[in-house]
Every structure is written in C-alpha cells, then in structure tokens.
Homo-oligomer: A and B are copies of this chain.
Amino acid sequence: MAETKPLRFAVLVGSLRKGSLNAAIARALPALAPADVTIAPLGSVGDFPLYNHALQEEKGFPPAVTAMAEAIRAADGVIFVTPEYNHSVPGVLKNAIDWLSRLPNQPFAGKPIAIESASPSLRAQLHLRHVFVRG
C-alpha cells in the first residue's frame, strides 16, 4: 500500500473569551480527526496588535503575525471556528486577517478554508466568505 501524507489542518479561533464555546469546539477537533488527518491550533488572534499600515511599514510585521503565517503556510487548509458579533465577523478575527493578508508571501493563497461556528446565525460565515472569495 502506498504511504499517503496526512492532511494537515490549522485551526483559528475568532473569540478571546475564556470559556468560549467556539474555542471549546476548536479544542475538540484534533481528537475527532480521522487517521490520515491532523488538526492543530494556530496561535491566538489576541496576540496581534490593532492593524496599522504605517506601523507595519515602519517596524515590519509583529512576530505573532509572521509565526501564524508560517503555520498557515505549512498547513493544507485552515478551519475558522468563530462566533458572530453584531451580525458579522468579530473585529478581533478580522484584525488578524487584515494583518496576515498584508504579507508578501500570502499565507492564505490557494488554501482551502472551512468555517465552523457555535453561533446560530450565518452572517459571520457569509462575511468571511466575502473576505476570502474575491470578485
């Protein structure tokens, strides 16, 4: 039998709340993965500063941003597990995406993305889709 390389997914949580239901879902995912799939958490979007383009140009990308970008590049796909805040993507998650999107070697390029949520509404997911599906 040919050896197949396991699929590696990286998980990003859209809430900083201790006790977040979405964080709990994210923590449950690795154990639920089939044998040929690995699921590993990314760092916290809470380690990112507020996005400021001038700051980026003056001081470069913060270490938390470049480290998460490396982990995303190394993954075969990204799973977002996020609550919905005010009928849209939490600002803290969008802020992380805004930072990551500015990197020259785009970590999300060609990367399949899945979205999960403990929220009963679908608008955060719809807006995330708008963010990632261009045109």
Contacts and interface: CB of A to CB of B under 8 A. Distances in A.
Interface of A: 15-19, 45-46, 48, 50-55, 85-98, 101, 123, 127, 130-131, 134
B123 A98 contact: no
Given A88-B127, A127-B88, A95 B50 contact: yes
Given A50-B16, A127-B127, A127-B130, A89 B94 contact: yes
Contact of A86 (B85, B86, B123, B131): B131
Query: What is the oligomeric copy number?
Result: 2
B91 A51 contact: yes
A130 B88 contact: yes
Contacts of A19: 54
A12 to B, nearest CB: 13
A51 B94 CA distance: 12
Contacts of A96: 91
A18 B85 contact: no
Contacts of A15: 53
Contacts of A89: 88, 94
17 contacts: A15-B53, A18-B54, A45-B50, A46-B50, A46-B52, A48-B50, A50-B91, A51-B85, A85-B98, A86-B98, A88-B88, A88-B130, A91-B92, A91-B96, A91-B98, A92-B98, A95-B95
